[in-house]
Every structure is written in C-alpha cells, then in structure tokens.
Structure 1
Amino acid sequence: MEWVALLLLFLFLCVLLNLVLPQPPPSRWRRGLRTSTDRVTRLLRRRADPAPDPFDTLRLQTRLGHLAGEIRRVESAPRIYAKAHRLMALEAAYDDLLDEACQLAGIPADADLKRSEEKRWMEEQALASRGWSW
C-alpha cells in the first residue's frame, strides 16, 4: 500500500514540475547534454572490447602442455588403476582447453563435428598454424 502512495506522490510532483516549467529547456542545455552523453557513450564503447592479455595465452599453453604430458604418461604406463577412465577425463579436459584456445585465437568453431580425434587434430593444427606451441 505504501508503494501506491509513493507512486501518487511522484506523479503529483511531476505534474507540479510540468506546471512550473512549461517550456522545454534552452537549446544550449540540450547541446551540452548531447555532447556529454556522446562523450560518455564513446568512453563506454572503447572499454567494451579490451585487448587480449598475453599472459592468458601463456597460461593456456602451459595448461595444454601439462595435460598433453599427463595423457602421454597415462598411455605409456603399463599398469595403472582405471586407465580408461583417467584417459577419458584427461582427454575431455584437453578438448575443453583446445576449445578455449581456439576461441582465444579467433578460430571459428566447427559445430557440426562432435568431439573426436579428427576435431582434436584439426584444432591442434589450426592453433599451430597461428604460432601456438605447447
């Protein structure tokens, strides 16, 4: 019920303000307001797309290298508990990191290909052609 009273008070004040200021504000005020809003919008647009951080790329390459080493270690171990499950988990993490790296490098994603060795190979080659190494 309080919000209705506040709404009515607000509308009453708006009507009073309209009676006090029947004419629109002077044109120089509108020009000043327009230039200040244009300045603010330019500042906001500039900050919308920050430059990529090179350390993000380095961190991602380090994580990819670590996971690739773990996959090689698990594959080469003759006797390891739950080898298949570990390989599946490591490969899923590696594939997710490859997707993230492709997004960071600006490589378009192939939505029609499901996760497979072929897609992994194509992403690795695309990243290597752009100078990535891990």
Structure 2
Amino acid sequence: MAWLGVLVLFLMLCALLNLLLPNPPPSRWRRALGRRTARVRRMFRRRRTPVPDPFDTLWIQTRLGYLSTKIRRLESTPNVYARAHRLMAVEAAYDDLLDEACKLAGVPSDPAALHPEEKRWQEEQELTSRGWSW
C-alpha cells in the first residue's frame, strides 16, 4: 500500500512540474525525430506558387502603355536627334517589361526561337488573350 502512496506522490509532482515548465527542453531522440519528420514533411509539401501582386501587374501595365506611346511618338516624328538610338533603347525597355509581364501572367517563352519583332508580337498576343491591356 505504501507503493501506491509513492506513485500518487510521484504523479502529483510530475503534474506540478508540468505546470511550472510548460515547454520542457526536448530530449535528444525527440530532436532527432523532429528533424527527420521535418525533412519528410518538406519532401511531400506542395510547392505553392505565389499569387502575383495586383499592384505590380498594374504598374507593369501602365509602364507598358507609357513605353508604347513613346515608341509610337518616336516612330511618327521624323526630326528627332539620335532617333534610332532612342528607339532602340525604348524598344529594349519595352521588351524587358513584356518579358516580366509574361512571367507574371505565366506565359511560357522561348527567347532564342524568334526575332525580336516576332517575339514581341507573340507576347503581346498572349498577354492580350489573358486579359492584359495597356
């Protein structure tokens, strides 16, 4: 009967210790098991694709509109100093923004397959078909 009293006393001390120490330090085997289960969880975890920020999309659309207006203005004005250089610079910026917009919209691209004009036209058509406007 004395052993029952010792058992009850031991359990009460364990409960009191559990109340005083809510997070006892994990033992060595618990840490090792936690690392292994974390590794397995990472292997089976779904890779979530981040949703693009709508403000980034809006910024790219407004910037594309600005650059396309600038390209049209440079092409229509005959007497502009260093016209070809400016046109090449603005078209390069426009192409870079188109590439970034295609990444945001999920449009697959093959950069080495087409000439720049064909690639630009194809990217514009893909973005327009996905609801982009500028």
Does the TM-score normalized on the shorter chain lie above 0.5? yes
Residues 1-134 of structure 1: pairs in structure 2 closer than 5 A: 30=30, 34=34, 38=38, 49-134=49-134
Spell out, residue by residue over 1:12-31, the C-alpha distance to the aligned partner (whole angstroms, 9 max, x if none).
Answer: xxxxxxxxxxxxxx98x628
| Amino acid in structure 1 at the alignment position of 2:103 | Q
In the alignment, which residue of structure 1 is the partner of 2:21? none
Quote the Cα distance in structure 1 between the aligned partners of 2:48 and 2:127.
Answer: 26
Compute the displacement of 1:80 (Å): 0.6
Report how many aligned residue pairs link the two structures. Answer: 105
Q: Which runs of 5+ in 1 are unaligned?
A: 1-25
Q: Which runs of 5+ in 2 are unaligned?
A: 1-25
Compute the displacement of 1:110 (Å): 1.3
Quote the Cα distance in structure 2 between the aligned partners of 1:112 and 1:78.
Answer: 32
Q: Secondary structure at the match of 1:89?
A: helix
Q: Secondary structure at the match of 2:95?
A: helix
TM-score (norm: length of structure 1): 0.65
Compute the displacement of 1:116 (Å): 1.8
Change (3 A) 1:96 1:73: same
Compute the displacement of 1:32 (Å): 9.7
Identity of aligned residues (%): 69
Spell out, residue by residue over 1:58-83, the C-alpha distance to the aligned partner (whole angstroms, 9 max, x if none).
Answer: 00000000000000111111211011
Aligned Cα RMSD in Å?
Answer: 3.0
Compute the displacement of 1:34 (Å): 2.2
Q: Secondary structure at the match of 2:112?
A: coil
TM-score (norm: length of structure 2): 0.65
Quote the Cα distance in structure 1 between the aligned partners of 2:59 and 2:50.
Answer: 18
Rg larger for:
2
Compute the displacement of 1:47 (Å): 9.4
